[in-house]
């Protein structure tokens, strides 16, 4: 007898628990561009990036392959009146995502969990976070944390320093706060995350001042939605 789509969904959801890799990627992407959407009963993960980051979408699709039935979708969307190309997929709803929704959301808005120090422990999470929201600067590397409050960014920096022994600074940008790693921290940061960074995103760890002269142009920008 042929298996119905509903039976496939039920089987996927019944046998699913976040493994260590999935949890690390989930935490990193929730600090970055990923969102969890609450549905009627449980929540689902929504991954969406600009098309020039489709390799990152495909990577995350592979990580969560056992809890999604959706292939990566490419589509156009207007942002500020201009058409942009995006790539996305969503997972099936599951109580595991509901658990993380309760940690990372308050009144339907993404927040930094107060117990982040117990969650952000894997270098893989930091690598995914940087691939999502990292940006190379002239002399350092920043993580764009505009959606978080000043106190939340302070908490993020504290966790980074305590859990990874990495020195990070707060910098004001567009009337919000971002995280900045100076040149003195880059060797340790790169050593921490390079193993988990996709080749296409290694440029985010290379400040312009340290690149060969012919390689001093910024990498493709992320459009955070």
CATH number at residue 61: 3.10.28.10
pTM here? 0.89
For residue range 62-82, what is the model confidence (pLDDT) as tens digits? 999 999 999 999 999 988 889
Residue 221 lies in a domain: no
pLDDT tier, 225 (very low <50, low <70, confident <90, very high otherwise): very low
Are both 118 and 201 inside the same structural domain?
yes
Number of domains in the chain: 2
Are both 55 and 121 inside the same structural domain?
no
pLDDT of 209 reads 78
Q: Which residue has the higher pLDDT, 44 or 14?
A: 44
Are both 98 and 154 inside the same structural domain?
no
Residue 224 lies in a domain: no
pLDDT of 4 reads 72
Are both 5 and 64 inside the same structural domain?
yes
Domain range for 123 is 112-213
Residue 60 lies in a domain: yes
Say how far apart CA 80 and CA 68 lie, in whole Å.
31
Are both 67 and 47 inside the same structural domain?
yes
pLDDT of 218 reads 52
Are both 118 and 90 inside the same structural domain?
no
For residue range 183-203, what is the model confidence (pLDDT) as tens digits? 899 999 999 999 999 999 999
Are both 47 and 65 inside the same structural domain?
yes
Residue 219 lies in a domain: no
Are both 150 and 76 inside the same structural domain?
no
For residue range 113-171, what is the model confidence (pLDDT) as tens digits? 999 999 999 999 999 999 999 999 988 999 999 999 999 999 999 999 999 999 999 99
For residue range 91-121, what is the model confidence (pLDDT) as tens digits? 999 999 999 999 999 999 999 999 999 999 9
pLDDT of 12 reads 75
pLDDT of 148 reads 97
Query: Would you say residue 223 has pLDDT above 50?
Result: no
Q: Which residue has the higher pLDDT, 136 or 217?
A: 136
């Amino acid at each position: 007898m042929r298996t119905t789509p509903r039976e496939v969904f039920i089987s996927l959801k019944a046998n699913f628990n976040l493994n260590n890799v999935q949890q690390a990627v989930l935490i990193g992407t929730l600090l970055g561009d990923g969102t969890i959407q609450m549905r009627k009963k449980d929540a689902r993960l929504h991954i969406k990036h600009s098309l020039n980051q489709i390799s990152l979408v495909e990577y995350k699709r592979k990580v969560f392959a056992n809890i999604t039935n959706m292939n990566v979708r490419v589509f156009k969307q207007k942002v500020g009146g201009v058409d942009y190309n995006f790539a996305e997929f969503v997972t099936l709803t599951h109580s595991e995502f509901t658990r993380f929704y309760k940690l990372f959301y308050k009144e339907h808005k993404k927040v930094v969990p107060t117990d982040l120090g117990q969650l952000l422990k894997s270098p893989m999470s930091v690598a995914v976070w940087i691939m999502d929201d990292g940006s190379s600067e002239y002399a350092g590397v920043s993580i764009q944390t505009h959606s978080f409050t000043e106190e939340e960014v302070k908490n993020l920096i504290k966790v980074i320093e305590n859990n990874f022994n990495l020195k990070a600074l707060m910098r004001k940008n567009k009337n919000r706060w971002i995280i900045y790693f100076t040149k003195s921290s880059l060797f340790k940061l790169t050593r921490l995350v390079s193993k988990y960074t996709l080749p296409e995103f290694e440029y985010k760890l290379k400040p312009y001042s340290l690149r060969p002269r012919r390689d001093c142009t910024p990498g493709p920008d992320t459009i955070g939605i």
